[in-house]
């Protein structure tokens, strides 16, 4: 068929759709709901994934994190780790929660004990920066650095530099404030010297994590293996019996994105049921249209229309309905995603970003058209194979 004929058939399909206004819009609604649900969920998932990747990129690519897994970490483990080939520096930290009071207002906060001698290793390893003040120094005993949300919305009054905060009846002076960038858990944290934290919680020489910075020129995997070997040798453990875990920022990122992808896939699969319903709605509408237009089909055949012409008219109609539904669903879905991200950012510690993926936008439009065309195949085949004489006698 020529392009001119295709254009005429397309215009005929568009006129037929306009004639069935209410029924067409009821059919479109099914597609809108399915596309909007999928677009909202996929866009939201992409935004959360982009935020997670951005957060972990701040942690750097030259750090390894050692944590206990059925065993304990102590200061002696730092010395063992630093013997491993490829290790530049290792520093320990101790984390717990405690009641903190400021001007009579008491809240539960994370208390992070860090070694001031290697504060740069800890800060860079956690992606932390200061917005005000200074970092902890070796001679600090009752000084602390507070997270951004400790300042903004934790206490009734906002503490600042040189504020006095009581942690379990011991007074600490604020010497620095962390910037919002980095792990959200540190936004409601107070960093204090490691020895002070251990004294607060009667932790002796215990550690909850060791942050390791590798030497330039060494690969993370290689250094990880060296550390595991040194720690197994020190603890008389066989391979596979480790009571400690070694992770990198990439390991954590891979785990989180895998979980997010699986959850997103399951939810999108459930939402796709709405699209199936929309496709069935298009098919039903096209069958009803064929019944109502039986004589019209007979006339078209009588004046020379071929099967492929009849098929094209009905496939165009189904494709137009699917495309209209996908366009409206796209706009609604992106709006729902944007609203969800606003709520997440407003009421949680997480910072999500809105992602407008060109592949997602174009894919939604294309998918809506394909859904319509596929749903219209059987009805169009029925219309194309109707007997002209019977069609003309139909009342």
Strand partners, 177: 132, 146
Dump pLDDT digits (tens) for 357-387: 788 788 888 888 888 888 878 877 877 677 6
CA distances from 214 to 65, 94, 146 (A): 11, 21, 28
Stretch (H or E) spanning 284: helix 249-292
**Minimal CA–CA distance to 363: which of 395, 386, 333?**
333
Longest dimension (CA), the chain: 102
DSSP characters over 321-345: HHHHHHHHHHHHHHHHHHHHHHHHH
Residue 137: φ, ψ to 5°: -120, 160
Dump pLDDT digits (tens) for 106-119: 999 999 999 999 99
Handedness of CA 390, 14, 279, 365 (dihedral sign): positive
Cβ contact 121:91 at 8 Å: yes
CA distances from 80 to 7, 77, 84, 239, 310 (A): 77, 5, 7, 17, 80
Residue 97 CA to its chain's centroid (Å): 28
- How many other C-beta atoms can be found within 10 angstroms of the C-beta atom of residue 97? 12
d(CA 145, CA 147): 7
**Minimal CA–CA distance to 202: which of 117, 99, 113, 78?**
113
Stretch (H or E) spanning 139: none
- Torsion angle, alpha carbons of 229, 232, 235, 239, to 10: -160
Cβ contact 232:239 at 8 Å: yes
Q: Which residue ranges make up each domain of the chain?
A: 3-56+253-393, 72-242
Q: Output the pLDDT for position 181.
A: 63
- pTM as predicted: 0.61
Buried b (16+ CB within 10 A) or exposed e, 297-333: bbebbeeebeeebbbbbbbbbbbbbbbbbbbbbbebb
d(CA 60, CA 127): 7
The 8-class DSSP code of residue 215 comes to P
Q: Output the pLDDT for position 6.
A: 61
d(CA 337, CA 325): 18
Residue 189 CA to its chain's centroid (Å): 24
> Residue-wise pLDDT tens for the chain (395 aa)?
566 666 776 776 677 677 766 777 877 888 888 888 888 888 887 777 777 776 666 555 678 899 998 878 999 999 999 999 999 999 999 999 999 999 989 999 999 999 999 999 999 888 888 999 999 999 998 999 999 989 988 888 999 999 999 998 899 999 999 988 656 778 889 999 999 999 999 988 999 999 999 998 888 889 999 999 999 999 998 888 888 998 887 777 777 778 777 877 777 777 777 777 778 887 877 777 776 666 766 677 677 767 777 777 778 888 888 888 889 988 998 888 888 888 877 776 666 777 777 887 888 888 888 888 888 788 778 776 776 655 555 45
d(CA 270, CA 280): 16
d(CA 219, CA 354): 34
């Amino acid at each position: 068929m020529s392009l001119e004929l295709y254009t005429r058939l397309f215009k005929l399909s568009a006129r037929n759709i306009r004639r069935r206004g209410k029924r067409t819009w009821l059919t479109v609604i099914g597609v809108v709901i399915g596309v909007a649900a999928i677009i909202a969920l996929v866009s939201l998932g992409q935004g959360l994934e982009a935020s997670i990747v951005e957060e972990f990129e701040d942690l750097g690519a030259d750090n390894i994190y050692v944590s206990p897994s059925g065993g304990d970490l102590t200061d002696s483990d730092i010395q063992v780790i630093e013997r491993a080939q490829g290790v530049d520096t290792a520093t320990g930290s101790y984390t717990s929660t405690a009641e903190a009071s400021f001007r009579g207002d008491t809240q539960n906060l994370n208390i992070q004990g860090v070694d001031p001698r290697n504060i740069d290793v800890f800060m860079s390893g956690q992606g932390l920066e200061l917005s005000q003040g200074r970092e902890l120094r070796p001679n600090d005993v009752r000084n602390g650095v507070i997270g951004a949300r400790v300042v903004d919305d934790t206490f009734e009054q906002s503490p600042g530099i040189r504020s006095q905060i009581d942690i379990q009846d011991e007074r600490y002076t604020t010497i620095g404030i962390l910037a919002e960038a980095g792990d959200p858990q540190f936004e409601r944290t107070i960093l204090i010297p490691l020895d002070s934290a251990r004294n607060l919680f009667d932790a002796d020489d215990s550690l909850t994590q060791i942050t390791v910075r590798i030497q330039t020129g060494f690969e993370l995997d290689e250094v990880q293996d060296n550390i595991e070997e040194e720690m197994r040798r020190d603890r008389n453990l066989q391979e596979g019996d480790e009571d400690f875990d070694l992770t990198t920022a990439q390991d954590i990122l891979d785990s989180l994105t895998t979980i997010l992808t699986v959850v997103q896939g399951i939810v999108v699969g459930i939402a796709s049921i709405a699209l199936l319903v929309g496709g069935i709605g298009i098919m039903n509408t096209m069958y009803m249209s064929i019944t109502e237009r039986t004589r019209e089909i007979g006339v078209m055949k009588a004046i020379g229309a071929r099967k492929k012409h009849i098929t094209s008219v009905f496939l165009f109609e189904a494709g137009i309905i699917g495309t209209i539904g996908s366009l409206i669903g796209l706009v609604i879905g992106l709006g729902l995603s944007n609203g969800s991200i606003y709520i997440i950012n407003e009421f949680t510690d997480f910072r999500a970003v809105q992602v407008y993926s060109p592949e997602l936008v174009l894919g939604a439009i294309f998918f809506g058209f394909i859904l319509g065309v596929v749903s219209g195949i059987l009805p169009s085949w029925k219309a194309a194979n109707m007997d002209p004489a019977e069609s003309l006698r139909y009342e």
